[in-house]
């Protein structure tokens, strides 16, 4: 399993969920845009949020499936979204990232910043070999996040996922350790 950890960026703290996140998690997961792209319970109740924040998110780490973080504002500590790893293959050292951003935090680059931080931790500190991100072909905002976070578009996986509206095609993005090394070398060359 992944070690329980906390990650920091200039604006964000990525930390384990706790009971203070329950109201904002409920509001975010009940939001129509969040519901459009994620197969969350409908309606998303306070009981669902309580279970996620106090049990489910933690159990997923303990089971070895992945790790989930509350994305919070470093100054106010308010929940701004979630990001996590799932479908972790420990033998192949691969995992898939997923996220949602609270309605009050959208349009500020939160998801890309959190994705980049998590990718650096996974491929660097944890020595994984591949991070994948899947976004519905019609979810343009999520695809923009993937590109802004530095992931590479690989192609379309047909009929590969399910949302409330039914089966969907997804765009597959990835990041591997060499991508981070190449980027670091390019950045150093521009200094």
- For residues 66 and 83, the answer to whether their CB atoms sit within 8 Å is no
Give the pLDDT confidence of 7-23 residue by residue, as tens digits.
Answer: 999 999 999 999 999 99
- Tell which residue, 15, 4, 123, has the closest CA to residue 69: 15
Q: How confident is the model at residue 184 (pLDDT cuts 50, 70, 90)?
A: low
85, β-bridge pairs = 67, 97
CA distance 179 to 45: 40
CA distance 36 to 165: 8
Q: How confident is the model at residue 180 (pLDDT cuts 50, 70, 90)?
A: confident
Give the pLDDT confidence of 42-54 residue by residue, as tens digits.
Answer: 999 999 999 999 9
Residue 191 scores a pLDDT above 60 = no
φ and ψ of 136, to 5 deg: -55, 140
- For residues 169 and 132, the answer to whether their CB atoms sit within 8 Å is no
- For residues 124 and 180, the answer to whether their CB atoms sit within 8 Å is yes
């Amino acid at each position: 399993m992944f070690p329980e950890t906390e990650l920091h960026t200039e604006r964000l703290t990525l930390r384990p969920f706790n009971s203070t996140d329950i109201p904002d998690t409920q509001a975010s997961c009940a939001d129509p845009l969040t519901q459009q792209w994620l197969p969350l319970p409908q309606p998303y109740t306070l009981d669902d949020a309580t279970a996620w924040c106090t049990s489910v998110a933690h159990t997923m780490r303990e089971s070895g499936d992945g790790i989930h973080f509350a994305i919070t504002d470093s100054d106010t500590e308010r929940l701004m979204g979630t990001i996590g790893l799932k479908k972790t293959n420990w033998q192949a050292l691969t995992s898939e990232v997923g996220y949602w951003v609270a309605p009050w935090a959208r349009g500020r680059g939160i998801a890309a910043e959190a994705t980049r931080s998590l990718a650096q931790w996974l491929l660097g500190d944890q020595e994984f070999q591949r991070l994948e991100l899947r976004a519905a072909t019609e979810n343009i905002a999520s695809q923009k996040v993937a590109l802004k976070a530095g992931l590479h578009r690989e192609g379309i996986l047909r009929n590969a996922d399910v949302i409330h509206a039914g089966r969907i095609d997804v765009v597959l993005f990835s990041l591997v350790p060499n991508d981070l090394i190449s980027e670091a070398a390019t950045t150093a060359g521009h200094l």
